[in-house]
Amino acid sequence: MSGPKMKFVFPRVLTERPFHYCPGCHHGIVHRLLAEVLEELELRERAYGVASIGCACFLYYYFDIDICEAPHGRACAAATGAKRARPELAVFTYQGDGDFAAIGLNESLQAAARGERITAIMINNTVYGMTGGQLSPTTLPGQRTTTTPEGRDPRMYGYPLKVAEILAQFPGVAYCARVAVNSPRRVLEARQALRQAFLAQLEDRGFGYVEVLSACPVNWKLDPVSANKKVDELTQTFPLKIFRTWEGL
Amino acid sequence: MKTLLVKGSEAIALGALAADCRCYFGYPITPQNEIPELMARELPKRGGVFLQAESELAAVNMLLGAASTGVRAMTSSSSPGISLMAETFSYLAALELPAVIVNVSRGGPGLGGIEASQGDYFQATRGAGHGDYHFLVLSPASIQEAYELTARAFSLAEKYRQPALILTDALLGQMKEPLRLRRLRFPRYPVEDWALTGARGRPGRTLRSLFLGPGELRARNLLLQRKYQAMRREARAEILYAEGAELVVTAFGSLSRIVREAVEMAREKGYPVAFLRPITLFPFPDRPYRKLAEGGQPFLVVELNCGQMVEDVRLAVCGRSRVESLALPPSDLPAPEDIYRRIRRCLAQR
Ligand SMILES: Cc1ncc(C[n+]2csc(CCOP(=O)(O)OP(=O)(O)O)c2C)c(N)n1
Ligand code: SF4
Ligand SMILES: [Mg+2]
């Protein structure tokens, strides 16, 4: 038989420590893709990651690269400081929707508006995963969370914040995309988006942003398969799209 | 050697440049805008980074990021801005980052006022943020000393992998005095064994403060405490007229200049009064206090607040002497005569 052979290659950037994430959580898939992209772009030796406060705060357990912890919401400011201090580093943040878009929205938007040469990865699971599934700025109308037990009421909490759509308007942003990882095709697209978001800084084009619609089965109170399917529903509010790229759409 | 006529705030910026500070991050607030303005003019010329942040919150986190890469970096602000930075102060201490922070403090609480005040003594020496930690805290009394202590702060911060804070106030920040641009030779310390510079030829490194394993956080805390103990050897104070003194008058920062004048006034009139000025507020120089208290002489603590440093003096003398407080909440500055009258009263009570 001819044709391509499948081979399992473990990215060197990843440590062998098993992920602590819940079954069906998408954080692990995104970690794997990020590791592959860092390896492909040969960034292991000049990568600087900012671990934010959320379910992925243990980022440093899984990546064999330099990683700094930032207070909740301040990842983009810390990344700005590191990148300005040592422009040769490939600096990225890995944040949740609460970290990036609630407590840290100002730092996030301002870094993007300044066109910081950093890459921000935002895991949008529509809840505060780490603290037990509370309302987040990206919670859908009607979605039940532990602090909106009757569902998000728009009269009380308004409507979800569409971060990619906001960032897409900034000339400082060189790349802005929203992706998902709930199907093989989408996983490949997500990988490509991450790659572009790193090239945005490596080629000195501007801020790179990738928002990943991610399943949080535990806090959505769904089994992993149903949670994976539910991500399709999210795409109606949060369309998957490349919103901006320096190469032109 | 060049001599300039500059404000205290400018002297601080010049001290930072003398120490080869590479990055400055800050957000405007009176009475310290001369620091960012001077840095904005001078740092880029020297290949450094000046960045005006969107808030003090962002500024101090930019500082965290820059310092984590082993680069000399600083921020400055005044009281309300310093309060806003407090959470990240705790992280800076926990991550053991050598970062320099300047507080040209003003009156509080709240928006308070922009006059000279020492109301941030507790905030500076007790750690404004959460958890058991300390900053190194240095407090200059002249423009020359503001320049030199700032440069020294960078060196000490690096030596102990430890945030260092310069606590001064509107009076020193805004007044002008001649500054001799002396060459300063405070040592540099290697950063290669901890800084995040990319994992070239080595495993990845982590700077973190989350410790969930059994006993881990306790061990971490004890390690920090050992460092704070080791830092005690950096305690500094200025002591004058200790010989045969029957009263010790003590004050820090710009106010100490007025207090010193009052002490000299008393001595001219024949009253044997000593002057003691802590230069480091953390570590607090308790040794000279303890020593002077051996003879049971009373202490008079003068401060521009409602009585904060007096607590450290009481701890240092540990009941050996009477400690009186002349606490002056922010308003008009006292005249040397006001303090002199209080000195007379203290002596009369012997
Ligand atoms: C200043 C501060 N406030 C609150 C918290 C508690 N906290 C930790 S993680 C988190 C939310 C995380 O949600 P998100 O960013 O969406 O990440 P996820 O866990 O969903 O991946 C909160 C509120 C904190 N650590 N610090
Ligand atoms: S709580 Fe949600 S986001 Fe956090 S690890 Fe579990 S599934 Fe993932
Ligand atoms: Mg979340």
Structural domain total, chain A: 1
| Contact at CB, A60 and B204, closer than 8 angstroms | yes
Picking from B69, B88, B205, the nearest residue to A85 by CB comes out as B69
A45 close to B (CB below 8 A)? yes
The secondary element (H helix, E strand) that includes residue A150 is none
Q: Output the average pLDDT for chain B.
A: 97
Q: Output the average pLDDT for chain A.
A: 97
Which domain, by its residues, includes A171? 27-244
What are the residues whose beta carbons fall under 8 Å from the beta carbon of B316, sequence distance 6 or more?
B284, B286, B289, B290, B293
pLDDT tens profile B101-144: 999 999 999 999 988 999 999 999 998 999 999 999 999 999 99
Q: Is the pLDDT of residue A13 over 90?
A: yes
| Contact at CB, A71 and B61, closer than 8 angstroms | yes
pLDDT at B332: 81
Task: Answer yes or no: is A160 within a domain.
Answer: yes
Beta carbons of B155 and B186 less than 8 angstroms apart: yes
A112 close to B (CB below 8 A)? no
The secondary element (H helix, E strand) that includes residue B215 is none
B74-96 average pLDDT score: 98
Tell me if residue B164 falls in helix, strand or coil: strand
Residue A87: φ, ψ to 5°: -60, -15
Partners of A179 in the beta sheet? Answer: A212
Q: Is the pLDDT of residue A249 over 80?
A: no
Q: How confident is the model at residue A8 (pLDDT cuts 50, 70, 90)?
A: confident
pLDDT at A185: 98
pLDDT tens profile A141-153: 999 999 999 999 9
The secondary structure of residue A145, as a DSSP letter, is B
Task: Answer yes or no: is A10 within a domain.
Answer: no
What are the residues whose beta carbons fall under 8 Å from the beta carbon of B90, sequence distance 6 or more?
B127, B129, B130, B131, B133
CA B63 centroid distance within chain: 18
pLDDT at A21: 97
Question: Which protein residue's CA is at the shortest distance from atom 6 of ligand 2?
Answer: A22
**pLDDT exceeding 70 applies to what percent of chain A?**
99
A78 close to B (CB below 8 A)? yes
Domain CATH code at residue A152: 3.40.50.970
State the sign of the Cα–Cα–Cα–Cα dihedral B24, B29, B35, B41: positive
A56 close to B (CB below 8 A)? no
B54 close to A (CB below 8 A)? yes
* CA neighbor of A64 nearest in space, from B89, B179, B204: B204
Tell me if residue B320 falls in helix, strand or coil: coil
| Contact at CB, B65 and A83, closer than 8 angstroms | yes
Q: How far is the CA of A55 from the centre of ligand 1 (A)?
A: 8
pLDDT at B200: 97
Q: How confident is the model at residue B347 (pLDDT cuts 50, 70, 90)?
A: very high
Task: Kindly list the structural domains of chain B, giving each domain's residue range(s) and its CATH number in brackets, ordered by start.
Answer: 3-186+211-233 (3.40.50.970), 236-348 (3.40.50.920)
Spatial separation of the C-alpha atoms in residues B166 and B136, rounded to whole Å: 8
Q: How far is the CA of B334 from the centre of ligand 2 (A)?
A: 60
Task: Answer yes or no: is A55 within a domain.
Answer: yes
Task: Answer yes or no: is A179 within a domain.
Answer: yes
The atom of ligand 1 lying closest to the CA of A53 is 9
Residue A230: φ, ψ to 5°: -60, -25
Picking from B62, B71, B207, the nearest residue to A77 by CB comes out as B62
With a 6 Å cutoff on the Cβ, whether A96 touches ligand 1 is yes
* Residues in chain B within 8 Å Cβ distance of A107: 54, 57-58, 61
Q: Is the pLDDT of residue B31 over 90?
A: yes
Partners of A242 in the beta sheet? Answer: A177
Q: Is the pLDDT of residue B60 over 70?
A: yes
Measured N-to-C along each axis, helices B86-94 and B216-230 cross at an angle, to the nearest 10 degrees, of 90
pLDDT tens profile B236-289: 999 999 999 999 999 999 999 999 999 999 999 999 999 999 999 999 999 999
pLDDT tens profile A75-131: 999 999 999 999 999 999 999 999 999 999 999 999 999 999 999 999 999 999 999
* Residues in chain A within 8 Å Cβ distance of B51: 80, 84
| Contact at CB, A71 and B197, closer than 8 angstroms | no
* Residues in chain B within 8 Å Cβ distance of A88: 198
pTM above 0.90, yes or no: yes
pLDDT at A3: 72
**pLDDT exceeding 70 applies to what percent of chain B?**
100
The atom of ligand 1 lying closest to the CA of A100 is 15
pLDDT at B93: 98
A46 close to B (CB below 8 A)? yes
Ligand 1 site-directed mutation target among A130, A146, A212, A238, most atoms within 8 Å of CB:
A130
Tell which phi-psi region holds residue A166, choosing left (phi > 0), alpha (psi between -120 and 50) or beta. Answer: alpha
Task: Answer yes or no: is A109 within a domain.
Answer: yes
Picking from B63, B66, B88, the nearest residue to A71 by CB comes out as B88
Spatial separation of the C-alpha atoms in residues B16 and B99, rounded to whole Å: 11
The atom of ligand 1 lying closest to the CA of A72 is 26
Spatial separation of the C-alpha atoms in residues A147 and A168, rounded to whole Å: 30
pLDDT at A1: 52
With a 6 Å cutoff on the Cβ, whether A119 touches ligand 2 is no
Spatial separation of the C-alpha atoms in residues B120 and B169, rounded to whole Å: 10
Spatial separation of the C-alpha atoms in residues B109 and B306, rounded to whole Å: 11
pLDDT tens profile A154-166: 999 999 999 999 9
pLDDT at A2: 63
With a 6 Å cutoff on the Cβ, whether A211 touches ligand 1 is no
Angle at A42 between CA A183 and CA A207, to 5 degrees: 70
pLDDT at A138: 98
A38-51 average pLDDT score: 98
Distances (CA, A) of B170 to A11, A73, B175, B193, B333: 55, 32, 8, 39, 12
Spatial separation of the C-alpha atoms in residues A106 and B222, rounded to whole Å: 36
Distances (CA, A) of B280 to B70, B148, B153, B323: 24, 13, 11, 20
Task: Answer yes or no: is A17 within a domain.
Answer: no
A190-202 average pLDDT score: 98
Q: Is the pLDDT of residue A50 over 90?
A: yes
B10-35 average pLDDT score: 97
Task: Answer yes or no: is A80 within a domain.
Answer: yes
What are the residues whose beta carbons fall under 8 Å from the beta carbon of A184, sequence distance 6 or more?
none
B12-26 average pLDDT score: 98
Spatial separation of the C-alpha atoms in residues B83 and B68, rounded to whole Å: 22
Task: Answer yes or no: is A3 within a domain.
Answer: no
Tell which phi-psi region holds residue A158, choosing left (phi > 0), alpha (psi between -120 and 50) or beta. Answer: left
A85 close to B (CB below 8 A)? yes
The secondary element (H helix, E strand) that includes residue B134 is none
Q: Is the pLDDT of residue B94 over 80?
A: yes
Tell me if residue B174 falls in helix, strand or coil: helix
